Structure 1
């Protein structure tokens, strides 16, 4: 079925507090040089003690409203991708509905970790194209600093907080969604990246039951650099386009070295790849909108450009999306 949806606007927000790599030199055995060399991260943002995922998400939506001079009071579905909701329930999506006083809308939180924003966009496209909704608000937002194990030198250096919001609307004239590819090619790999909630075991194996992120970075790296290039080509196979026709590749900004390997294996030029980890760290569901907004702000991404978005993370799940960037207005 041909898409009847397009992304018309985007907004972002990050907390004020900047945390440089030198901070971690005071709490674990590491250095700025080591962090930059291994991850490409130079700084990240941490939310305040009383600042939560819904706060970042609300400000990102507000930024979108101001940048594109639009309204959201007629949104009829809110999808929030997050692994760090303020509460188990009420959902972050319902907090968005309440804040903006949106009278008639659905409100759902999605849990697809670092692939969440792309999952959300794909779901929004499906809902609009099927005729169930006409205007869907998709948000990727995280406060990972609140779930980070700061005694683990291999993971505490990675994560930051941030949010991005996109508006997906009905259109027949200029659909922006070209192809999608979604999978969970290594569900049994869940033990390599998890955060406990109710259970103290996973597939019969005991897990660290402290409510903080646990990651086997080496195994996740191996999975990602194999899975993502394959997914990129599978995505392009659905169209008459090739990777040469893609203007910008926007992957989940987990680690700069990982993205370099993905580009090398897929044959996509690194210089046409947008990332957000250098300034913001790994913000999970928010890395892709942060990178896209940065590309727009810097004048790289132009209306009509073909974008390839690819998210991947805990589960282990992944999701790709090929789209045309066709905003209805130029951001202020």
Structure 2
């Protein structure tokens, strides 16, 4: 019998503070029209001064657990995907573990920037399928506002803060094909040749500072469309699924033009694509679970539907997950 990692709970958290494009126009040379035209973003959430990444992660985790029948004390694994941990070490996931009362289970952070949630899902899926864990909590959480140069309009207008989470449980998959419920396949890639196209210019080993985000926007856009399309096509081919069979594409919410270009390249109609970038901006590892949770809660994504998650981030890293929810 095939084991599948089934999503049994989903949750998210957004900070209360909303920063609009008009707000940013008061502090940096930009405008609402300029930002919308290039990214599709109208606003973003910014964490309060006393909110950390682990705070956001804990809130999203509790919401996901509340929507499942999993008691935190029975969790076997917690993975927190983040590029903005509370501290260099220990892992912010251990703070989440302590707050939830899940003492004793595995807990660690995973860093693949905007592809982090996809990487974390794939990692948790591997643990569950091989029998090393039966239940897992996978979180994407970021406070990207803490690593932005607020005078660089090419980056500061694009990002926001937030967190999303899913609860996974290992279950017998049934037929072992695309009709099964749960994660059907995962596909991960990286290419370090493009390290300096999207990066943070600091770190404990290099500058002993946190640093801020630097990006070659045009090059990132060009690579994103081709690599994301490849990741989607790879997932479809691995499961003998056509694009027409997909119920939903839940992409990383980096830029509306990237999302639209990827969908067009795959022949997917806009009504099959979940988009939150206009309200959330790019929340890095949090963007996919935030979008998934919103679509589940508002009734668009329903049990039994076929959902494809995909993302790309600095490194470059990119990947996809095909799941029947």
Aligned residues: 318
Gap regions ≥5 residues in structure 1: 202-208, 326-332
Which residue number in structure 1 is paired with residue 52 of structure 2? Answer: 52
d(CA) in 2 for partners of 1:123 and 1:14?
25
Structure 2: distance between partners of 1:164 and 1:210: 24
Tell me the residue number matched to 1:193. 198
Whether the 8 Å CA contact 1:3–1:125 is kept in 2: the answer is no
Deviations 1:135-188 (A, max 9, x none): 11100000001111101011100110000111111101564111221111x321
Tell me how far 1:267 sits from its aligned partner: 1.9
Instruction: Report the TM-score, using the length of structure 2 for normalisation.
Output: 0.94
- 3-state DSSP class of the match of 1:171? strand
CA contact (8 A) 1:256 1:277 kept: yes
Q: Distance in 2 between matches of 1:293 and 1:106?
A: 24
Partners in 1 of 2:286 and 2:192 — Cα distance?
A: 22
Mapped to 2, the partners of 1:171 and 1:320 lie a distance apart of 21
Q: How does 1:289-304 map to 2 (within 5 A)?
A: 289-304=289-304
- In structure 2, relative to structure 1, the CA distance for the partners of 1:67 and 1:47 (3 Å cut) is same
Q: CA offset at residue 82 of structure 1?
A: 0.1
Cα RMSD, aligned residues only: 1.7
Q: Map of 1:242-281 to 2, 5 A cutoff?
A: 242-281=242-281
Contact 2:72 2:101 in 1 (8 A): no
Q: Any stretches of 5+ residues in structure 2 without a counterpart?
A: 174-179
Aligned residues of 1:74 and 1:104 also touching (Cα < 8 A): no
Alpha-carbon separation, structure 1, partners of 2:313 and 2:224: 8
Deviation digits for residues 3-49 of structure 1, max 9, x if unmatched? 43211111100100111111111111111111112111111111011
Query: Does the CA-based 8 Å contact 1:3-1:178 persist in structure 2?
Result: no
User: 2:212 matched to which residue of 1?
Assistant: 212
Per-residue deviation, 1:69: 5.5
Partner deviation per Cα, 1:162-216 (whole Å, 9 max, x = no partner): 00111111101564111221111x3210100111204559xxxxxxx76111111
Aligned partner of 1:99 in structure 2 is: 99
Query: How far has the Cα of 1:240 moved from its partner?
Result: 2.0
